[in-house]
Amino acid sequence: MTQVPGYVLVLILNTCLADSFRPDSVRSAARTVAAGVMGYYTGDVNGAIGIFPDPYYWWEAGAVWGAMVDYWYLTGDDQYNDVVSEALQSQVGPNANYMPPNQTRTLVRIIGGLRSLRFLLTIGV
């Protein structure tokens, strides 16, 4: 099981406690969580873009990219869009099916499908 650092849990708790009646408060809390999560991303792990360093798995990175697309859509904050776009595109694989050869040890077909759907939602298909 992947361990979550304490400060991430604190960020999530702060988000849950945000004043849900004030959109600016919710956006601020979401911005804090997004920055914390993106702080884990190094951009290149052993030559592979779009994944997080160990102990995180490929599918967990896919969940992050999906959440970051939602974050952009819901808040209008586009500061991470270039990074997310590069990450999604770099893991599409040679057959355009989100089953890249560099992730064969952790790859599950359903996860590739979920990434594909996320990409389609991102481009507005």
| pLDDT tens for each residue of 54-67 | 888 887 888 888 88
> What whole-number distance in Å separates Cα of residue 121 and Cα of residue 125?
6
Do residues 69 and 118 touch, judged by C-beta distance below 8 A? yes
Do residues 62 and 122 touch, judged by C-beta distance below 8 A? no
User: What's the confidence (pLDDT) of residue 1?
Assistant: 45
User: What's the confidence (pLDDT) of residue 44?
Assistant: 78
Query: Helices 6-16 and 23-38: crossing angle, nearest 10°?
Result: 160
Q: Which residues fall within 8 angstroms of residue 86, CB to CB, at 6 or more apart? A: 49, 50
Is the Cα dihedral 102, 72, 27, 63 positive or negative? negative
Say if residue 95's pLDDT is above 70.
yes
| Closest CA relative to residue 32, chosen from 53, 57, 49, 7 | 7
pTM listed for this prediction: 0.70
